[in-house]
Amino acid sequence: MSEGKPETSPRLLTKGLWVVGNYYCNLYLVKGEQAAALIEVGISAVVDDVIRQLESLRVAPTFLVVTHPHTDHVTGLDGLRERYPRALTVAAEGAAEFLAHAKAGQAIGPEDSHMAEFLASKGIRPSRPPVEEPPSLHTCLTAKDGDEMDLGGLTLRFISVTGHAPGKIVAYIPEIDALILSDSLGFRFPGRGVFPLFLTNYADYMATLDRLKSLRPKIVGVAHQGPLLGPEIERAFEDSEREAAELRERIIRDPGDPEEVAVDVFNKYYKDQFTMYTRDNIMNCARLVVKRARESVGDPKVA
């Protein structure tokens, strides 16, 4: 996918697997002989492009898989549901509760609007307004660790992962050695580094990387600036593990006030593709990364 250019057609990765969307928001279509699943639902600004791409393949998804309940992974859901009313939504335990929280409702509109403006600045102009409230996941199917979904010749094997977000699920497709892992590698700046996103727990985040790496996938579907193929997969895992460890070490060795340290983290990473998100969002991510790093060593200064 070319940076800043809308995709006019889906990209075939291997038999039965396509990436759709654009450079900034990657969604993955898995089509078996009996059913199809769209893994990731993106943001409202990419919905109409995704629908056009799916229609070019003459595929209506049977399942819409929400990998986790962060804004950039859920605000496209209602638009896709409207176009594909028979599709069943799949999410992990905890995702519905996260979206139902008052803070999610307050933040989702401004964040979705900011992302739409960012894409427009890159020549990817949305054809629908941003959402104003989060979608409901209370009636969706719940995928648990180890659950499998047979699409007919292709299997979605769900993996519950921790460390980045509550209610997160990813999918491995063993027949084609493909792993659709969303944000599990952090936010990647191709050729320039990674912002490690251990927002809920550092040890869990690192354990997730080890577990996913052990699958030795040949195709990795990341949610942004992806996908990854061949030798770049091993390098991506190594980069993510190294940068997470280095950021944690930098944070725990810094005796400064947590807010000051968080500002330093924010200033290091908030640039280029990462400005797709609001400053408030990424500043909160920086605060969480500082908190989780210090929690990992039992820092008494952590509230």
pLDDT tens digits along 204-236 = 999 999 999 999 999 999 999 989 999 999 999
Q: By C-alpha distance, which of 108, 157, 122, 141 is closest to 3? A: 122
pLDDT tens sequence across 60-101:
999 999 999 999 999 999 999 999 999 999 999 999 999 998
pLDDT at position 300 over 50 = no
* Helix residue spans in the chain (DSSP H): 47-56, 77-83, 95-100, 102-121, 202-213, 231-253, 258-269, 279-295
- CA 242 → CA 10, 42, 68, 207, distances in Å? 33, 28, 24, 13
Q: Residue 102 — pLDDT band, cuts 50, 70, 90? A: confident
pLDDT tens sequence across 147-179:
999 999 999 999 999 999 999 999 999 999 999
Q: Residue 9 — pLDDT band, cuts 50, 70, 90? A: low
Strands 26-31 and 88-92: what pairing? unpaired
pLDDT at position 41 over 80 = yes
- CA 2 → CA 89, 153, 274, distances in Å? 29, 31, 17
- Give kind and range of the element (H or E) at residue 38: strand 36-39
Domains in the chain, please, with CATH? 11-246 (3.60.15.10)
Range from 1-10, 77-86, 87-96, 108-117 carrying the lowest mean pLDDT: 1-10
